[in-house]
Structure 1
């Protein structure tokens, strides 16, 4: 018969108790609504115990902050890597709540208690400073989109990005005018990333027909039919660029006719 090896929350109590006792605290279990209290002179520490880090534990910890700023949550040491994004994200949330975090490894004969970090004020300004680059990229992505073609919350679905929109703009230009150089495309308004998009050819929409000249592939033409709204939008931009060029050329011709012979505007 297979032995039941399920770990109970009560098994975390003794290692955590011994840890704080070793630091000179007087420790008590189940005081009021608190799993564990540790006191030394006027200092009060509260520890909430759970096998895993979950919402209930975070709520308990947040409520205990009404009683003291020194609140820890103690959990079993996770089986997944402490260097993983999953663990780092969880640590960020606990820090954000200004709670301390303790892990307990129930090793045979000698449990190991580790304070991952102590409770303390969360420096939100510093956190934002560290995310300036991410914020800038997010704002660039928003600015680079010209419609709302994605459903929020989608997982595993293809999404429309600013990069893909840029590639569609280039594809629309090549469809209208045939093979063009990156410089000519930029003059049509495709932006500074044009050469990079053509060279990397991430979607397989472009083919280099000569040095510095690209045309649209059959795959690219097929993709244009899947985004009629964006194609119509970029077609209007391309036409506007053409009209601006034609108007500028007309003004230049008019000015040239008005000048004395041999002079250029």
Structure 2
């Protein structure tokens, strides 16, 4: 499909919405006018950052901006599509899909409500703030793809260090010293495979994991 193949379906769509339509006005692919209200549509066969830039530039002089692309150019259920829709919403740019000879608005060019968005993700913000406040160390490097040290990982390390220093202990003893409330759960679930139960209610660090734990403790301490 060529960009020119997108023109007639999009023109027909705008006319059905009451717009008078003309093409290539001041480098705008399609411009619709309804009294003094202007709607611009940029036509492209595939997504690109240049297309987004063009749409943003059109917002300087028109009331609404859409981008129109072939439906086949992006997978509807893909992460890329989800991210695109979110980006366009934030930028207040609409999206039109053209499938064969039919154009359809899949995202309206409307004002983005930032307060509503923040309210929707309030729980995620609280979780993020909680993780920030609970984190004891600052080992992680921003931008790295290495495995991150989370608050949960910090707790695992602290429990393991206690067990190394005391050879073995019960969850109650560890919790009283470390103040880690989830001690029992961490020991029982043992996601990292560091611990083993030596008798009923008594745990230790596996012998082959001791050096690894010590290295991890030194690493997180260096990042304080």
Give 2:24's match in structure 1, choosing from 30, 36, 60.
Answer: 30
Tell me which residue corresponds to 1:119: 109
What displacement does 1:151 show?
A: 2.8
Say if 2:8 is the partner of 1:19: no
Say if 2:171 is the partner of 1:185: no
What displacement does 1:80 show?
A: 4.7
CA distance in 1, matches of 2:16, 2:109: 19
Q: Work out whether residues 41 and 67 of structure 2, in 8 Å CA contact, stay in contact via their aligned partners in 1.
A: yes
What displacement does 1:141 show?
A: 2.2
Q: How does 1:28-177 map to 2 (within 5 A)?
A: 28-105=22-99, 107=100, 111-155=101-145, 157-177=146-166
What displacement does 1:34 show?
A: 0.9
Compared with structure 1, are the counterparts of its residues 70 and 218 closer, same or farther at alpha carbon in structure 2 (3 Å cutoff)?
same
Give 2:183's match in structure 1, choosing from 194, 209, 213.
Answer: 194
Compared with structure 1, are the counterparts of its residues 72 and 41 closer, same or farther at alpha carbon in structure 2 (3 Å cutoff)?
same
Q: Work out whether residues 137 and 221 of structure 2, in 8 Å CA contact, stay in contact via their aligned partners in 1.
A: no
Compared with structure 1, are the counterparts of its residues 166 and 125 closer, same or farther at alpha carbon in structure 2 (3 Å cutoff)?
same
Q: Work out whether residues 170 and 190 of structure 1, in 8 Å CA contact, stay in contact via their aligned partners in 2.
A: no
Compared with structure 1, are the counterparts of its residues 211 and 79 closer, same or farther at alpha carbon in structure 2 (3 Å cutoff)?
farther
Q: TM-score, normalised by structure 1?
A: 0.76
CA distance in 2, matches of 1:44, 1:194: 62
* Runs of 5+ unmatched residues, structure 1: 1-6, 234-265
CA distance in 1, matches of 2:54, 2:88: 12
Q: Work out whether residues 204 and 219 of structure 1, in 8 Å CA contact, stay in contact via their aligned partners in 2.
A: no
RMSD of equivalent CA atoms: 2.1
What displacement does 1:203 show?
A: 0.4
Q: Work out whether residues 171 and 184 of structure 2, in 8 Å CA contact, stay in contact via their aligned partners in 1.
A: yes
* Runs of 5+ unmatched residues, structure 2: none
CA distance in 1, matches of 2:12, 2:33: 13
Q: Work out whether residues 104 and 114 of structure 1, in 8 Å CA contact, stay in contact via their aligned partners in 2.
A: yes
CA distance in 1, matches of 2:10, 2:216: 60
Q: Which runs of 4+ in 1 moved over 4 A?
A: 230-233
What displacement does 1:230 show?
A: 5.2
CA distance in 2, matches of 1:79, 1:194: 50
CA distance in 1, matches of 2:170, 2:72: 55
